[in-house]
Amino acid sequence: MKDAKNSSKELKSTCCYCGVGCGVVIEKQSDGTIRVRGDESHPSNKGLLCSKGMNLHHTVNDQIDRLLFPQMRYHKDMPLQRVDWDTALERTAAVFKTFIKKYGPNSVAFYASGQFLTEEYYVLNKLVKGFIGTNNIDTNSRLCMSSAVAAYKMTLGEDSVPVCYDDIELSDCILVAGANPAWCHPIIWRRVEKHKANNPAVKIIVIDPRVTDSCAIADLHLQIQPGTDVTLFHVIAKLLIEAGKVDWNFIESHTDGFEELRDLVLTISVSEASDICGISEDYIYRAAEYIGSANAFLSMWTMGLNQSVVGVDKNVSLLNLHLLTGTIGKPGSGPLSLTGQPNAMGGREVGGLANLLPAHRDLNNPQHREDLQVFWGGKTIDSKPGLTATQMFDALNEGTLKAIWISCTNPLISLPDVRKAEQALKNAKFVVVQEISSKSETLAYADVILPAAAWSEKEGTMTNSERRITYLPKVNRPPGEALSDQEIFCRFAKKMQFKGFDFPDAEAVYLEHAQLTKGMNIDISELTYDILRSNRSIQWPYTEQKSTPRLFTDLKFYTNNKRAKIYAASTSLGSEKPDDDYPFILTTGRIRDQWHTRSKTGKVNKLNQHIARAYLSIHPDDARELGLRENDIAHVKSRRGETSVPCKLDKGIKKGVVFLPMHWGKILNSDLNRTNNLTNNLLDPISKEPDFKFCAVRIEKFFKP
């Protein structure tokens, strides 16, 4: 307790925005409102918070938009009406049972979120895979991290980020690819900035088609042609091999696949790569020299690599650079994929995607499926991966999927080719939306609305980008009749007459999940809430009472033969082709002070002041040719849809490339004039992650009719 007069109380928790996972101290006032500050005892942020984290309390204190009670309608033409929880869940269970009986378990699907707490993820995954009997559970992490997940599994044997944030200060070359951490992962970036300021000899390389704030401290900005990253990584690999700047001993003793890569990359000339990537030969040589000369080489990336039709190829070709130089499992070295959501990593731990099982078990492994079925006491687990995020909406349009349960995400703004997703929700026979905010556009298509508890209104754990698990306490009660996602799923499971969902609290769920990790590479079976509370946070695996900051220090990887696999990824790009009708490449992304579809950040005046509205970033030369000036309204059209948005002239964007932020549902007060009206639904063939960073568009000056 602190400040007896105000009876304020302090509790330690974790920021609920990005995957940096900063520790926060929540100060609860006697009137129930909260204040938030950075937690100096949390190793990930050491007291620092970015603009979003600093304003977190506004999203909790301002309850005006909250959903307060369940709502339901019996027919699509009827209005929604308030009902009690039993009525809403009994009707939902009855409808789901009917579809499952008539069309089989694959006729229903659950689309969830990387913002869930690990316990919520676990319960939903158990319910869907273990008891309903379908693998149709996927989350918005599919749109974010699935290419990195696939690449880690292919190269290292499991989905395992090998490094910790403390490696930043030990590194002497940091490569940032397809990411703008200065805006999107600011606290990580502050550590990089400080490290560079204290050690000017440390080299920073940024690969991005745009000049972003992250370029401010870069020694080298490689302004790449979108989609050509594999060629760039391959030609760097070639230069490293030719210069003998590779670790031959590491390659020979700890990897497979080198010869195939070598034979491929030696056929790529630097001049050819320079033409393809739009980067000068000199810059390519310098990038290879910086990486080859580094004793400790660290890479960071996000959506520029992941959100691509060749996302896995981009990831593995970057991972190759670590495997060639032996910069993995050593201080200051290794790949650090940054996660966009606070608990995307926790979701991966419990198998919360359509192709994963808990504790990194393998869906293809019959023994793993059987072990799980016995442990849960449920149904036989299907060996086929379920529908992924965008595939669910395709299946609704095709009529093979009848019902979808959407929780903690707003697909009507965030999915690619979103008009198709909107049509899917219109076509769906039954839609459940579990949400905190009454402003979510997806609610428009709900047959049942379930009000959920928000951050700080429920207890559980989250894991950040460096495998660090942190405990989050329940600080305040959810408003109205809102319940935690865990409680909602457990109540539904009981309405379905499933056994094994009588968890008294979040800790009981956590302990069941932790038990499943025993003997696995991700082992946290000895890690309890008490240990988490007293240690502030722990990095998995946790064995012999020790946290694990860095993986693979023994250079034994999680593959069957303990050797990492080098992949010779193809350089071909299957993205949409620009042509005379659609000559520009559109890339989309985040801005500094907004997050996802603005359901939280949009409520905070201070955050809306940074950039108040959507904009089209376009090179001044391109704008001039189109007759567009600053703030003119551009009409942007793709083969799928259109949007109209003010222009921002930006010398820092590559000519022929334009950028739109992803956050806004309405631009210029129009009806769902969204960025994702334009994007396409092409997927990486392995990760099924959409190609958000590349679609062909036409741009015209907007004239009112």
Which residues of the chain form contacts with ligand SF4 (CB under 6 A)? 15, 17-18, 20-22, 45, 49-50, 52-53, 185-187
| Distance between first and last Cα of the chain | 63
Q: Which residue has the tokens 């010779």?
A: 568
22 vs 309 by CB, closer to ligand SF4: 22
Q: Which residue has the tokens 């590479």?
A: 521
Min separation Cβ 468 and ligand SF4, Å: 11
Q: Is 332 helix (H, G, I), strand (E, B) or coil?
A: coil
Residues in the chain: 705
Distances 305 to 149, 220, 247, 302, 399 between C-alpha atoms, Å: 12, 18, 25, 6, 33
Min separation Cβ 49 and ligand SF4, Å: 4
Min separation Cβ 169 and ligand SF4, Å: 17
Min separation Cβ 15 and ligand SF4, Å: 3
Min separation Cβ 148 and ligand SF4, Å: 18
- Give dist(CA 432, CA 20) in Å, integer: 31
Q: What phi and psi values does residue 177 have, to the nearest 5 degrees?
A: -120, 130
Q: Which residues pair with 690 in a beta bridge?
A: 683
| E strand or H helix at 110 | strand 108-112
Min separation Cβ 53 and ligand SF4, Å: 2
**Residue 565's closest CA among 336, 305, 330, 323?**
323
52 vs 369 by CB, closer to ligand SF4: 52
The residue nearest ligand SF4 at its CB is 53
Min separation Cβ 175 and ligand SF4, Å: 20
- Give dist(CA 45, CA 355) in Å, integer: 32
In the chain, what is the greatest distance between 2 CA atoms, to the nearest angstrom?
74
Min separation Cβ 189 and ligand SF4, Å: 8
Residue 268: both structure tokens together: 């790529």
687-698: b (≥16 Cβ within 10 Å) or e: bbbbbbbbbbbb
Min separation Cβ 21 and ligand SF4, Å: 6
- Give dist(CA 687, CA 556) in Å, integer: 25
Q: Is 537 helix (H, G, I), strand (E, B) or coil?
A: strand
Using an 8 Å Cβ cutoff, are 23 and 44 in contact? Answer: yes
Min separation Cβ 605 and ligand SF4, Å: 18
Name every residue whose Cβ is closer than 8 Å to that of residue 569 and which is 6 or more positions away in sequence: 230, 234, 310, 312, 313, 314, 316, 317
Q: What phi and psi values does residue 210 have, to the nearest 5 degrees?
A: -120, 150
| E strand or H helix at 658 | strand 657-661
Q: What phi and psi values does residue 637 have, to the nearest 5 degrees?
A: -130, 135
44 vs 571 by CB, closer to ligand SF4: 44
- Give dist(CA 551, CA 549) in Å, integer: 7
24 vs 401 by CB, closer to ligand SF4: 24
Using an 8 Å Cβ cutoff, are 268 and 234 in contact? Answer: yes
185 vs 513 by CB, closer to ligand SF4: 185
Q: Is 142 helix (H, G, I), strand (E, B) or coil?
A: helix
257 vs 602 by CB, closer to ligand SF4: 602
Min separation Cβ 185 and ligand SF4, Å: 6
20 vs 506 by CB, closer to ligand SF4: 20
49 vs 309 by CB, closer to ligand SF4: 49
Distances 498 to 108, 125, 493, 518 between C-alpha atoms, Å: 16, 13, 5, 25
Name every residue whose Cβ is closer than 8 Å to that of residue 74 and which is 6 or more positions away in sequence: 91
Q: Is the peptide bond before 541 cis (omega within 30 degrees of 0)?
A: yes
Using an 8 Å Cβ cutoff, are 169 and 296 in contact? Answer: no
341 vs 390 by CB, closer to ligand SF4: 341
22 vs 520 by CB, closer to ligand SF4: 22
Min separation Cβ 306 and ligand SF4, Å: 17
Q: What torsion do the CA atoms of 258, 259, 260, 261 make, to the nearest 10 degrees?
A: 50
Min separation Cβ 199 and ligand SF4, Å: 22
195 vs 698 by CB, closer to ligand SF4: 195
Residue 472: both structure tokens together: 């989050």
49 vs 356 by CB, closer to ligand SF4: 49
Min separation Cβ 342 and ligand SF4, Å: 7
51 vs 559 by CB, closer to ligand SF4: 51
15 vs 88 by CB, closer to ligand SF4: 15
Min separation Cβ 687 and ligand SF4, Å: 24
- Give dist(CA 410, CA 328) in Å, integer: 37
273 vs 344 by CB, closer to ligand SF4: 344
- Give dist(CA 472, CA 533) in Å, integer: 9
Using an 8 Å Cβ cutoff, are 646 and 631 in contact? Answer: yes
